[in-house]
Chains A and B, each alone.
Chain A
């Protein structure tokens, strides 16, 4: 993307006032999207972004500047601004010889976004619209959209590292509105993968549309969820986001260092049921949070965070790891070149167990079966969480009965991990955007079907 000599001179400028570390991060990203609403392809759009973020670390302080001007002059002026912000005064540090790091891609991308005609893409939206409306006259409105992106990055630092990566992502979403005696209800489904247009072979638009439409329709029939403390069965894939929010964030080394994690100082302790193993794996092929290298040049890797219930490690970015004299775990990410990297999750999941998922439901005399969760929120310092449930059913005498609406799951991450008493032998993931300090990055979360012996369900029913 840029000449190595230009990068070396930029790093030298960044360190001219002294400093422990300097880094140039270059990003080039193109995205395209289109949306259909009210039966019509309303808008087709695209965007491009290109620029560099330069940081200089002096002791505890990071100076950061960014620029959209990738000429040598533009980079030099950003490097000077970062050096000035870092306020270094120590001796000049040399920039080492570059050694290029290469990482095996986790999977091949077949249909690059720009290789597919836009007409084919908008046609997929029309197919989704028709399929959702075909689910019945109660479907009153449908919107559908796709979004794809190609992101290329190059990272070089004063330790001599230079590494690049290319990340292709595609997502397809459908939202349906159903109307009935109980008013309007909505259903959404939006699969996403780190792949090109071949996403639609794994998730055909019609199938995504049907899931969204049926979700909206089932809510018309649904009754308010019962409030109280009940056993909760989370269907494979549906509950991963809960553990991402309520446990994953507390395992990020920067939050631990800020004294804002319930898992601080607890490595080696039993923090979860012995049935629970939690992994963050940036190399899980095709998953929404997958990549070759992170935004600091460290290779993505598989990190076991909790093994058989015992806390084994946190997730680390470069700066936190340097302070502890250890290596990054490949979890340093940033939304754009305009942001500083921090510790972020990738694909975070609970490993599968041994129980047949059918047996988990039949072993539950009364409880809630959650098929899809919405977003949620967690206080990482306490582990308290709240999650909306977007599709759920009542379990009575070991069988699924009435659809439920308006359910919320309320609890504490650490307590929920300890209360997992049945873990299925199936597995699925869910794609989402994780927000932290104003930066959003693509992540996936996953889990087998599992049961939490008791969770507070907030509902509007008796």
Chain B
């Protein structure tokens, strides 16, 4: 990091070196991160770091090669470009591949999302350290049954990127982010429960320390005394974090790439009812509230709001330029990495508060966390069978906690079984939003 050249200039230089029928896409980025971890009242580690990198995509006669490097050193960038060119020789041509041209991006204009906060760079490190220490104290003080804090941390980052293609696309973007997270340990050593709490924002002053601390403590404490429930069919209430996880699985099967390659349970279903009539499923990276908000996708196409499902009916799929060409449509600005994906999917919130939603069903299982998502679910077959922790809900209030249980259904079934959507829309780190969801029936397996 001896020189600080403008990212757009570097990206233009790389893309400008395209020869003949060759197409080049250059993505360059730079970031600065701080991370503080504390343990038992003292700083365990403090990391300050700057990083940079380049990813180059070369397409020659429909053959695509990619190379990347963790440096913007001119010699390394030049070697990376040669690597990408060489890689392209060994890929096989596809009539639909090739970089986007400005005419294919549709009429969408990149939104001005204002995701950068100048003040982040001015905050002294001591204040960040103090925040992580304060969080640890707050978790310990939140509930007398909290016996320790497994981890408490503060992190922030400022990242800038520029994408330029030899076909005439330019996209420059920058963002800041800040987060707090803590994991509480509750109960006696013979029966420890853990709970995670966090808060995220664009800068330190966005963070809600009390909320994160109480969340960590409550989520651990309310599981104390958990036992294995009886096997039964039961209505299930998904916590916003769990709802987001389930939603992300469903949305990933709505990417056109998996649909076109025969890997989606929703292939060939446009115009059909795939969800309960109260379901409006929306992908909107132009919403600055979304943690995954961005003005451009990874091909440099402006992002836009996509109404995937309206009143339960599937309208269409998420596209990048390649899948749009194959499907004879236009990109939805959903290129993610070298494929297609959602960044800010959510369900339109319903009318009921969390309390009202709880009261709307006499008896249910509230699922606070799920495990085994990668092994127990498949967006190809739709299988859904995961480990679950949570509490029984009776007469609208929490009853006994449960552990060592699984819940099972199928992803298409879950979408049809959505009986209530809470009004508590919550944007979450990692993209997408969650809210409390009532699913009318799942198989709960325990003893």
A interface residues (Cβ-Cβ under 8 A, vs B): 32, 34, 37-38, 40-51, 59-69, 71, 73-74, 77, 81-82, 84-87, 118-119, 121-122, 140-141, 177, 179, 183-186, 219, 227-229, 258-260, 262, 264, 338, 340, 373-379, 381-382, 384-390, 405-408, 410-412, 437, 456-460
Whether B46 sits at the interface, judged by CB under 8 Å, is yes
Tell me the smallest distance from the CB of B313 to a CB of chain A, in Å: 21
Interface string of B369-383 (1 = CB under 8 A from A): 001101110101111
Interface string of B248-260 (1 = CB under 8 A from A): 0000000000000
Q: Is the CB of B375 within 8 A of A122?
A: no
Given the known A-B contacts A40-B94, A264-B189, are A374 and B372 also in contact in the complex, defined by CB atoms under 8 Å? yes
Residues of B close to A389: CB separation below 8 A: 375
Contacts across chains A and B counted by CB atoms under 8 Å: 253
Residues of A close to B355: CB separation below 8 A: none
16 further A-B pairs in the complex, CB-CB below 8 A; given A65-B47, A228-B445, A408-B376: A40-B94, A44-B91, A45-B66, A45-B87, A51-B70, A63-B45, A85-B48, A141-B261, A179-B262, A184-B380, A260-B150, A264-B189, A375-B374, A388-B372, A408-B406, A456-B228
Can you give 12 A-B contacts (C-beta < 8 A)?
A48-B67, A51-B71, A60-B43, A61-B45, A64-B49, A186-B380, A340-B47, A375-B372, A386-B406, A406-B383, A410-B387, A459-B385
Tell me the smallest distance from the CB of B89 to a CB of chain A, in Å: 8
Q: Is the CB of B262 within 8 A of A460?
A: no
CA distance A219 to B193 in the complex (A): 36
Residues of B close to A381: CB separation below 8 A: 150, 185, 192-194
Interface string of B27-66 (1 = CB under 8 A from A): 0000000000001001111111111100000000000111
Residues of B close to A262: CB separation below 8 A: 192
Q: Is the CB of B90 within 8 A of A34?
A: yes
CA distance A375 to B372 in the complex (A): 6
Residues of B close to A390: CB separation below 8 A: 375
Tell me the smallest distance from the CB of B18 to a CB of chain A, in Å: 18
Residues of A close to B1: CB separation below 8 A: 67-69, 74, 77
Tell me the smallest distance from the CB of A441 to a CB of chain B, in Å: 17
Tell me the smallest distance from the CB of A142 to a CB of chain B, in Å: 10
Q: Is the CB of A40 within 8 A of B385?
A: no
B interface residues (Cβ-Cβ under 8 A, vs A): 1-2, 39, 42-52, 64-71, 73, 76, 79-80, 83-84, 86-92, 94, 125, 147-148, 150-151, 185, 189, 191-194, 228, 231, 261-263, 265, 338, 371-372, 374-376, 378, 380-383, 385-387, 389, 403-406, 408, 443, 445-447
Tell me the smallest distance from the CB of A236 to a CB of chain B, in Å: 19
Residues of A close to B378: CB separation below 8 A: 186
CA distance A457 to B382 in the complex (A): 20
Closest Cβ neighbor of A224 among chain B residues: B408
Residues of A close to B43: CB separation below 8 A: 60-61, 87
Closest Cβ neighbor of B33 among chain A residues: A338
Tell me the smallest distance from the CB of B304 to a CB of chain A, in Å: 26
Q: Is the CB of A376 within 8 A of B263?
A: no
CA distance A377 to B369 in the complex (A): 11
Which of B88, B191, B381 is close to A184, meaning CB atoms less than 8 Å apart?
B381
Tell me the smallest distance from the CB of B416 to a CB of chain A, in Å: 15
